[in-house]
Structure 1
């Protein structure tokens, strides 16, 4: 079984061709965000000399949401919006579960009854 077929099964899509289109969408999104990063940094006045303490939060608050929006836009253009919308919801759910687990550990209890 090829790696494309494995991705087809994992992503539960209809064909290998759809997997290829999805990979193209990820590639286009990455390149687009790569080209948008510097203008967004320039807009905020961030330079090479700017501290990482400023760059990292700015990146997280601006570039990552831009990536998500560009991903959905390319998904729409390549007629794969439904896949990427489900992908975004799954990812957001995982992020929320991560923070929920951390909050519960901080409080000293867990959602798992075995603990």
Structure 2
């Protein structure tokens, strides 16, 4: 349930965030808008995953999942391994 809610929320919230930065489909080409939209979904998803996991009482699980996922894409330097 957490993954479904997070994915839908990340996709939904990315459009207003792009609009806040002044990027809209009317102002930029679709070739620019959609890659930016997809790239923005990733960090929004990461933040929401831990937040929504916390609301469901599973912060520890989703924090560990988050660190594992970020390590897999090469951002493991953000956390030291114990």
Match of 1:93 among 62, 71, 79: 71
Mapped pair 1:26 → 2:3: yes
Query: What are structure 1's unaligned runs of at least 5 residues?
Result: 1-23, 98-115
Contact 1:33-1:63 at 8 Å conserved across structures? yes
- What TM-score comes out, normalization by structure 2 length? 0.72
| 1:55 positional shift | 4.5
TM-score after normalising by structure 1:
0.54
CA distance in structure 1 between the aligned counterparts of 2:70 and 2:10, rounded to whole angstroms: 19
Cα distance between partner residues in 1 of 2:34 and 2:20: 13
Residue of structure 2 in register with 1:38 after alignment: 15
Paired residues in the alignment total: 73
Q: CA RMSD, aligned part only?
A: 2.1
Deviations 1:53-85 (A, max 9, x none): 46424642x432111111100100101111111
CA spacing shift, 1:57–1:42, aligned 2, 3 Å = closer
**Is this contact kept in 1: 2:6–2:45, CA < 8 A?**
yes
CA contact (8 A) 1:26 1:71 kept: yes
2:59 aligned residue = 81
Distance 2:36 2:12 in 1: 19
